Structure 1
Amino acid sequence: MDLQLEGETAIVTASSSGLGKASAEALAREGANVVVCSRSRERIEAAAEDIREEAAEGAEVMPIEADITDHDDVVALVEATVEAYGGLDHLVTSAGGPPSGPVLDTPEEEWYESYDLLVMSVVRAARAAYPHLADSDAGTITCITSTSVAEPIEGLVLSNSVRRAVIGFVKTVAREWAPDVRANAVLPGAHETPRVSDLIEQSLERGEYEDYEEGLQDWAADIPMDRIGDPQELGDTVAFLTSERAGFVNGVSLPVDGGRLHG
């Protein structure tokens, strides 16, 4: 399916690895110009090289060092994108996961830090991008969150609690900014990202699994599809939501989890 994204421009935040990078790769494969960012210049430039290898002919990839918890960095990210490409059509927000832990072991400062990372990063980016998205004929916002917004995950009180604010923001924006801008969220379950691979490798070192494949199967134990996701499957879903093929999809929170969620 041709998503007709050729020549359009997208920003994907926190995209040096994992699901953010996979989303940037999917957009670049469809011909979009993609601006990627990370706090580490070295990591984001390396990621940009990987994404260029996936990109369609003519699609450009621009890496920018930016901290999504810094207001000025986010504004500069948007301004640099508009200066380079003459506008902005799509914003995809991603962020690293907050610390794990139960309620009583989670200090108050981690709540504020997680809110800044997971929620305010989205608010900053969306507000900075809005005028340009509204000027586009194809303006979209797609927020990568987690299935924890729909069903709590044991030991992840911060993700379970704080990420839900992103869904409230998406649903509000989907009403306030339509029809100029569509806004949706994706709720990824377990995917074979570098973070998950590292966790499996750590379990292997502790002797919890005989091999890596056993670790993968353990992560997939409660997934009806009997496997965890490939990050590109999430990326392809993001690309679809940004495209006019999903032109009547607005305000949706879409699980991409192999059917694990119970409701």
Structure 2
Amino acid sequence: MSLDVADDVALVTASSSGLGRASAAVLAEENANVVLNGRDEDRLDETVAELDALGEGSVVGVAGDLTQKEDVEALVTATVEEFDGLDHLVTSAGGPPSGPFMETDDEDWYHTFDLLVMSVVRLVREAAPHLRDGDGGTIVTIASRSVKEAIDSLVLSNSVRMSVVGLEKTLSKELAPEVRANAVLPGPHETSRIEELVEQSVERGEYDSYEEGLAARAEGIPLERIGEPRELGEVVAFLCSPRSSYLNGVSIPIDGGAGAANL
């Protein structure tokens, strides 16, 4: 099934790796024009080359730090100047450090708020006029299943990501009907972020080895495995497309059925 996003313009943040990259890859395969973003310019250039070969649209990279207001503004400006518009904004950001509440200081809290919340605030503020100018703009926020259920040793993600989903729900009302806003709530997927969290758990003595920690991540998942990044990317691309035209203001868990919440 074609998603009908060919020639559309999509900006995907934190997309040189991980779930942002997976989302950008599917959009590129669907022949959209995609702008990638990341802080590591070498890795960003490599990703641009890889994704540009996937479809008939153009893929470009714009380096920048999402915690810096000027970088966010420049990112949206560069996207609009490159492609003369913007149709889809996909917000992703690297996850905050793991750890319990009593080991988390003020600097950790403020940095996490800048990274997860203010990056989205600034991106939407800059992008909204352009999204409204098109034939059906979309915003898709990649959050976390921690919004539904708190995860041990992830106090920052458990707390701050709630603000992101609250913002997404508000935007779904304030920007409608020209723009739809939705969120995805990924469970564990095979990304460098999972590797980092497992390694931190091993360092804290929670597991004896990386393999043991990784296996623990799949416990309680009815599908008995960790997700593949592409599986989330396909949902993100669907939410960007007119195929999801009556979905607005929803937060979709993508966790293999691991969640225990009814809603």
TM-score when normalising by structure 1: 0.93
> Counterparts of 2:202 and 2:111 in 1: how far apart (Å)?
31
After superposition, where does 1:1-263 map in structure 2 within 5 Å?
1-53=1-53, 55-56=54-55, 58-197=56-195, 208-209=208-209, 212=211, 216-263=214-261
The one-letter code matched in structure 2 to 1:90 is H
Give secondary structure in 1 for the equivalent of 2:15: coil
Deviates more, 1:26-35 or 1:216-225: 216-225
**1:217–1:226: 8 Å Cα contact kept in structure 2?**
no
**1:111–1:158: 8 Å Cα contact kept in structure 2?**
yes
Deviates more, 1:65-74 or 1:241-250: 65-74
Q: Which runs of 4+ in 1 moved over 6 A?
A: 201-207
> Counterparts of 1:200 and 1:189 in 2: how far apart (Å)?
14
> Counterparts of 1:21 and 1:159 in 2: how far apart (Å)?
20
**1:88–1:133: 8 Å Cα contact kept in structure 2?**
yes
Gaps of 5+ in 1: none
Deviates more, 1:195-204 or 1:21-30: 195-204
Gaps of 5+ in 2: none
The one-letter code matched in structure 1 to 2:19 is L
Q: C-alpha offsets along residues 56-75 of structure 1, whole Å, 9 cap, x if unaligned? A: 1x211000111111111111
Identity of aligned residues (%): 54
Deviates more, 1:25-34 or 1:193-202: 193-202
Give secondary structure in 2 for the equivalent of 1:34: strand
Q: C-alpha offsets along residues 63-100 of structure 1, whole Å, 9 cap, x if unaligned? A: 01111111111111111111111100000000011111
The one-letter code matched in structure 2 to 1:242 is C
Deviation at 1:48, TM superposition (A): 1.1
CA RMSD, Structure 1 to Structure 2 (Å)? 1.9
**1:68–1:121: 8 Å Cα contact kept in structure 2?**
yes
| Count of residues in correspondence between the two structures | 259
The one-letter code matched in structure 2 to 1:78 is V
TM-score when normalising by structure 2: 0.93
**2:98–2:197: 8 Å Cα contact kept in structure 1?**
no
